Amino acid sequence: MSSCTQLAEVNLAGNRLSKMSENNTTQFLRLFKALLNLSVLNLAGNGLKVLPKLVFSNNEKLSYLDLSDNEFTAFSLPLTHLKNLVVLSLTSNNLNLKDKSTKWNFSGYLNKSESNKLLLAGNPIKCSKCDDLIAINWIVQNMRNIVDSSIIYCSGKRGKATLVENATVAELEDICSSIYWQQMLIIIVCSSSFVLLIVSGCVTKKLLKRYQQHKQQKEDECRLLHDVIIENEMVSVLKQEEHVDTFAVFLNFSGNDKDFVKTYIYESLNEKLKSRVGTERDLVYFSEMHMGVGKLRNVIRDGILKCKSMLFILSEGSCRPDDDNWCLFEFNTAMELQIPVILMVKEHVPEDKMDPDIREYFKSNSRIMWVKDEKDTYQMESSWDAVCSAILRSTTETVY
């Protein structure tokens, strides 16, 4: 047609131009290039799926373009340069009006002039779901320029053909509203469940904490009651005349710590225990004052047997691991006889210098600390009442 430059109307309907468009795009582009006066073009029924963007670049006089009965699913052909185009027919295609570029092209074409007309009947338009609303609403809003709008049908619920009109938009809006409120209900229910879960968790945690506190309080009360009973039994035994040779506690200390024990421990502890028990006799076994005569090991063992507990003054001298350490012998004898041992530590004692048995006991039991103050005087980090309670409440089952 390159020689027919004066042609104004061309009807190529029912040909297989889709083959040329797909297989020989260059030749297809030249098809209308020379037709500068072309105003009416019919390309209906050619199986076209897409048109090259520059196919009508020289046809500015084109006023009527019929692309009906083809296979377009989207329409991206630029129409801005076709200033004289007043009728565009795309009936009976496979257009998806949800496609943004398609709606954008059509809107640009229709908004350019009120006289521009568009034909869309026979395309598979759906109106059964909320996401169909935008396409249906667009058709209704442009009915004045869509000349066949009175015969545009959409596929509604269960595939029922429904005429596209304002009522269709209203129905879809109801569907969208229903979905919105369903989603809101789900969000509210989920949020409420989440909040309820958090509140339940907090309440449960609080109740559990209260229960644990109550349980701990009861355990503490039971432990205190048990300790008081043990102490009362111990006091009763120590006050009986047949136990006049029984002591509340055996002092285990190194010879190097004798002055420390005399100055800070023996007298204060003995007087406090006598006051607690209600007796005037000595209750603290002090080797220098109470040890008998005979073979040393036997005498020490007999002394420990007379006592209800042992107070081990732990220092670098008393915990060294060697055979000449009588403190170690006394400690092991108490362990053998199941005599409760209470630790009293004189300043800091490095664990690596302790006998292994003493170190293990040191790690697993609490102890009473003595430290020096700024005046180089020893101060106990506890009270004599607490020390007496540990002694009087100690049993062979519970070692402090």
Three-state secondary structure of the chain:
CCCCCCCCEEECCCCCHHHHHHHCHHHHHHCCCCCCCCCEEECCCCCCCCCCCCCCCCCCCCCEEECCCCCCCCCCCCCCCCCCCCEEECCCCCCCCCCHHHHHHHHHHHHHCCCCEEECCCCCEECCCHHHHHHHHHHHHCCCCECCHHHCEEECHHHCEEECCHHHHHHHHHHHHHHHHHHHHHHHHHHHHHHHHHHHHHHHHHHHHHHHHHHHHHHHHHHHHHHHHHHHHHHHHHHCHHHCCCECEEEECCHHHHHHHHHHHHHHHHHHHHHHHCCCCCCEECHHHHCCCCCHHHHHHHHHHCECCEEEEECCCCCCCCCCCHHHHHHHHHHHCCCCEEEEEECCCCHHHCCHHHHHHHHHCCEEEEEECCCCCEEECCCHHHHHHHHHCCCCCCCC
Q: Is the CA virtual torsion 144, 146, 152, 157 positive or negative?
A: negative
**Which residue type occupies 130?**
C
Q: Which of 329, 273, 321 is closest to 303 using CA atoms?
A: 329
State residue 299's pLDDT score.
Answer: 92
CATH domain 9-164 topology: 3.80.10
C-beta of residue 39 within 8 angstroms of C-beta of residue 7: no
Mean pLDDT by 10 residues, the chain (400 residues): 81 94 90 94 96 92 97 92 95 93 92 93 93 93 91 88 92 88 80 80 84 85 82 88 88 92 94 93 90 87 93 86 80 93 90 88 90 91 92 60
399: tokens are: 């070692």
pLDDT the model gives residue 2: 61
Nearest to 234 by CA among 278, 270, 271: 278
Q: Provide the pLDDT for residue 172.
A: 92
Segments making up each domain of the chain, as ranges: 9-164, 176-239, 243-392
d(CA 366, CA 148): 97
The percent of residues above 70 in pLDDT, for the chain, comes to 97
Q: How far is CA 142 from the centre of its chain?
A: 51
The verdict on domain 243-392 having CATH code 3.40.50.10140 is yes
Query: Distance (Å, rounded) from C-alpha 33 to C-alpha 43?
Result: 15
Tokens linked to 84: 């004289």
Do domains 9-164 and 243-392 share one topology? The answer is: no
